[in-house]
Structure 1
Amino acid sequence: MVSVLLIVLVTFFCLYGLPESMAAREPTLTVIVVGDGFSAKTLSDAGITNILILEGTDRIGGRIKKTKFTGESVEVGANWVEGVNGNEVNPIWTMVNKIGLKTYYSDYDHLPANTYKQTGGVFEKSTAQKAYDLADEVSEFSKKLSVSLTSERKEDISILASQRLKSHVPSTPIEMAIDYYTYDYEFAEPPRVTSLQNTELLSTFANFGEDLYFITDPRGYETVVHYVAKQFLTTNKDGHITDPRLKLNKAVTETQYTSRGVVVKTEDGSVYNSDYVMISTSVSVLQTNLINFVPDLLILAIYQFDMSVYTKIFLKFPHKFWPTGNDTEFFIYAHEKRGYYTIWQQLENEYPGANCLLVTVTDDESRRIEQQPDSETKAEIMEVLRNMFGKNIPDATDILVPKWWSDRFYKGTFSNWPIGVTRLSTIRLGYVIHAPVGRVYFIGEHTSEHYNGYVHGAYLAGIDSANILINYAKKKIFTYNIKPKGT
């Protein structure tokens, strides 16, 4: 659900020197940005253009990443534009349509007719519908409670605590499966660790709309990142970025900052100097020693946030054995172990004739699966599918298991807002993850005021943080406003 470019924007003149015609002018403002191309464009638009981009990997796009799977281009990271057709327009949706990316509407309205028992096939629709209706009733209670707690400035609680107040904690396989679909499938962590006040109501859907569109374009979701980058980086006649300010395979190892400026070091021994630095690595990377900060970053919010893990597993079969056609795209498996291969998507609409399924796992299951051979994962999945569709179905011929948690540049997929860390309280405590520490600024989806975890959150947060830096560096105005939800 989110995009981080592990990049560093550094002063152009630090590397190449200033032209003689500029020597007598006022010194050029310089910025290092570790991470996000969205903020880089905002800086460039404001006239801060002497930059060099150092990308830690061999590509730009971060957690927006496509790959080939049995001839199809699939997204192993962010896949949906979430929040469409509401009162406000999602800026990512605007770009997707301007570029002309191929998308497909995701329809979840028919899950009661497509919910499977642990063994023995599908539930009767009437039986399943009762469980879904109860889950909706509990969810509505949680939303009203969240609004009440926020308006009365009361302390945050977990979603699970809200369920307990309603005297209904999901416990049966079907109840746990629906609960998993409602919360874990969105936040990649269970209700017991997820903030009530910062997820109910969820600003993405309240503001931008409740529709979701699945990216299926062979050019990839990352085309959005390239679209933004090409607005401030030069390209050749074929449209490829050739700007000398972009260099790949440049991983940052140390950031030193003082009242006078910033020094950034990379793995290959290079050293770069600038006036300011903007950090857009994932929050979990900030919690590790991948980048050494001198002095240490003493920001409590960094260590309170969770970096969730969301794993989309793709499978290819010799032929289809699952229902296809209208109202069958998504189906749910209700196992006694919560979150055990629960959410399924048949991809016939997105990839006609490919005979592919997608199953999503999260959190501890994602970490467990990343540590075992793909052959074991495949065997587990086949047992689940045979419990749903019978013993005679064919084995999968291919499997793709993305491993974001194991990747040192990401250590997960997107942030989940912690319980009790309200946007208002972080301001009062001075632990705002969005606010700068001296000459160090922060960007990325985890810094978004209301859209953390989403691609549009990374985009909007990048713009906001860049504007904070611009106002201070150029106008000596240092203000930022982070409002609590509902104000």
Structure 2
Amino acid sequence: MGITQYKEVFGLFLNHFKVCRGLVRTKRFIMWCGLAFVLCFLHLSSALNMDGPIIIIGSGLSGFAAARRLMDNDITNIVILEAENRIGGRINSVPFSDGIIDLGAQWVHGQKNNIIYEMTRNMFNFGTTPFEELYSTFLLTNGTKPEQKDIRKIVDVAYKILDDIDDLDDPQGSIGDIFNKKFEKALKSSKLKNIEPKVIELMKDNIQRNYNGYMATNSWFDVSAKINSEEGKASGNQYLTWKKKGYKTFFDFLTKKAPNPAQYLNIESKVQLNKKVTNIKYNPKDETSNVAVTCSDGSTYSAKHVIFTPSLGVLKKYHESLFTPALPDQKILAIKNYGFGTVGKVFLEFDQPFWKEQGKPFLAYEFLWLDSDIKEAIATNREWMTNITGIYIVDQFPNLLEVFLGGSNLNEFETSSDSKIIDDCMWLLEKSLAKTLPKPKSMIRTKWLTNENFLGAYSYGSIDADKANVRPKDIAESIKNVDEAPILLFAGEATDDRYPSMAHGAVRSGFRAADEIVDFYD
């Protein structure tokens, strides 16, 4: 509570106590003292809500986490403004095939120090995708198959180098720069020196492509090794799945619908859909003024506290028009320089799987792109395909394949027709497997980059951010008024200092923002 409200409540108590003091010799003294305290408590309660609701912008993981924490502390006057026509943000679980698949966040990355896993581990039986147990099947794009044993040697060396980079005390430069230096040394080892140089070169391209897809960046030369080493790592299985239920299952745990529906917090009822926020007007110099929020439909809202959770992509493009006055210089510096990228997915459903090879466990097809095939892809308007990291199995869905891609040309991918995407995917599979394949019976894919409410997928620690000496904490720092009240707070995965880019980072950030409001009133 601010000092002004403390004075107001204390003054009210003194006024009531003066009445009590005149009755000190009567039997009604105790009753009047009690009444004075009750009146003060009622005034205090109204003071918490006297300035209207707390507004949360965005109904993703961070927005719901913030609402959960506020409601856990008996603050229920909340409005959640959501620009989309659905709840979830970058969690987008949709019906497909005979279950639910995830167009947004898909895996629970890690167990220890992962708040999502910790909140659900005793109440949900996770599945897994065996990325860490099985090797992919590697194919040359001309329809031939390289020696898989040689490929596995390169994979083992390369990913050992990437793990070692994560453990460096004070790495300098980009992930790409450091990897290249260490990989050059590894080429001289006995383990790799007998492998054909062309295969090594193609695999190096493949590993960079995979890294770009995982990090949502165009190039690993854009990723700061220093910032990457500062981030936390949730240890344990990195690819836990929600089986056929989808990531939206976690919202049941956030709202306490699971495991005990009797404890349900109806956060969904606080959400207003199709409310795209166009301006947030605040006055940090006046402790009595509210934050004014304007939406594209002309509706306006007023609140003492606003928690902003949309993506860093939205902040990058719209911060100048979104906030009046402009945000502090340090926050703008962080918004402009911290990395934000995108990834793409295509889910293909077939009548029967064609990818099982002689009964061996199958994980994925990964592609080694020959120069001639890259030129052909470009010439036939399929350049986006050169960014595919692999085509993978989907846990619990035996008839599905998932195409995953990162890097550049995502705009080409998202603006192509569904029929073209299907044709392109089959072109690559048939070309690389050198055989005719059955057509998929259905398909669904993502469009995160071209959606104005997201403009990408998730953040990464960029070289530019390292040069500007900015971190997620600079994006996260709240704006306070002269009474030290946090009037404008920021949450979302890009604001979490420990696990940026991760879904569990988003949840942590929502809790953090809500806690700052709760702590102010304690």
What's the TM-score bracket when you normalise by the shorter of the two chains?
0.7 to 0.9
Over 3 Å counting, the alpha-carbon distance change for 1:167 and 1:53 in structure 2 is: closer
Cα contact 2:342–2:457 (8 A) shared by 1: yes
CA separation of 1:107/1:24 partners in 2, compared to 1, >3 Å: closer, same or farther? closer
Looking at secondary structure, tell me which structure has more helix per residue.
2
Q: Which residue of 243, 260, 270 corresponds with 2:299?
A: 270
Q: 1:107 and 1:474, CA in 2 relative to 1: closer, same or farther beyond 3 A?
A: same
> Structure 1 residues 229, 174: CA separation in 2 closer, same or farther (over 3 Å shift)?
same
Provide closer, same or farther for how the CA distance between residues 148 and 306 of structure 1 changes in structure 2, counting only shifts above 3 A. Answer: closer
CA distance in 1, matches of 2:116, 2:140: 38
> Residues 332 and 25 of structure 1: is their aligned pair in 2 closer, same or farther, counting only changes over 3 Å?
closer
Give 1:393 deviation, angstroms. 1.4
Q: 1:24 to 1:109 in 2, by over 3 A?
A: closer
Equivalence for 2:110 = 83
Total equivalences in the alignment:
434
SS of residue matched to 1:356: strand
Query: Residues of 2 paired with 1:409 and 1:203: CA distance?
Result: 28
Paired position in structure 1 for 2:128: 104
Among the aligned pairs, what percent are the same residue?
A: 23
Match of 1:138 among 151, 161, 165: 161
Given the alignment of the two structures, is residue 224 of structure 1 paired with residue 250 of structure 2, yes or no? yes
Contact 1:284 1:306 in 2 (8 A): no
Local SS of the residue matching 2:227 = coil
| Counterpart selection for 2:361 from 327, 342, 351 | 327
Q: Indicate conservation of the 8 Å contact 1:157/1:420, yes or no.
A: no
Q: Does 2:454 match 1:410?
A: yes
- The reply to whether residue 245 of structure 1 matches residue 270 of structure 2 is yes
**Highest Rg: 1 or 2?**
2
If the length of structure 2 is used for normalisation, what is the TM-score?
A: 0.75
Matching residue of 1:3: none
Q: Does residue 466 of the first structure (1) align with residue 514 of the second (2)?
A: yes
Q: How far apart, CA to CA, are the structure 2 residues paired with 1:217 and 1:90? A: 21
Distance 1:386 1:24 in 2: 70
Contact 1:82/1:210 (<8 A) preserved: yes
Contact 2:108/2:117 (<8 A) preserved = yes
SS of aligned partner of 2:110: strand
Distance in 1 between the 2:512 and 2:413 partners?
37
| Distance in 1 between residues matched to 2:345 and 2:249, nearest whole Å | 20
5 Å matches for 1:393-404?
393-404=437-448
Separation (CA, whole Å) in 1 of partners of 2:474 and 2:229: 21
Residues 23-73 of structure 1, C-alpha deviation per residue, up to 9 Å, x if partnerless?
685511553221311112222223432212232223221111111223432
TM-score normalised by length of structure 1: 0.80
Unmatched runs of 5 consecutive residues or more in structure 1: 1-20, 150-155, 476-487
> Are 1:187 and 2:231 an aligned pair?
no
Is 1:254 paired with 2:279? yes
The 2-side partners of 1:264 and 1:140 are apart by 45
Pair 449,58 (structure 1): closer, same or farther in 2 beyond 3 Å: same
Cα RMSD after superposing both structures:
3.3
Is 1:345 the counterpart of 2:375 in the alignment? Answer: no
Check the 8 A contact 2:202/2:369 in 1, yes or no: yes
Is contact 1:322-1:389 (8 Å) kept?
no
Alpha carbons 1:159, 1:195 under 8 Å: kept: yes
Which AA in structure 2 matches 1:454? Answer: M
The structure 1 residue matched to 2:488, chosen from 440, 452, 455, is: 440
Q: Secondary structure at the match of 2:436?
A: coil
Which whole-Å CA distance do the structure 1 matches of 2:363 and 2:145 have between them? 15
Q: Output the CA distance in 1 between the equivalents of 2:128 and 2:149.
A: 29
Question: How far does residue 359 in structure 1 lie from its aligned partner after superposition?
Answer: 0.9
Conserved? CA contact 2:255–2:265, under 8 Å: no
1:225–1:422 Cα change, 3 Å: farther
* Letter paired with 1:305: Y
Paired position in structure 1 for 2:314: 285
Return closer, same or farther for 1:387/1:139 CA change in 2, 3 Å cut-off: same
In structure 2, distance between residues paired with 1:372 and 1:411: 17
Q: Secondary structure at the match of 1:44?
A: helix
Is the CA contact 1:108–1:330 (under 8 Å) kept in the aligned structure 2? no
Secondary structure at the counterpart of residue 307 of structure 2 = strand
Query: Match of 1:81, SS?
Result: coil
* Cross-structure match for 1:178: 207
Q: Deviations over 1:162-214 (max 9, x none)?
A: 12433649972222112322x2232121211112123247622xx43243212
1:166 to 182, 202, 206: 182
Aligned to 1:148: 170
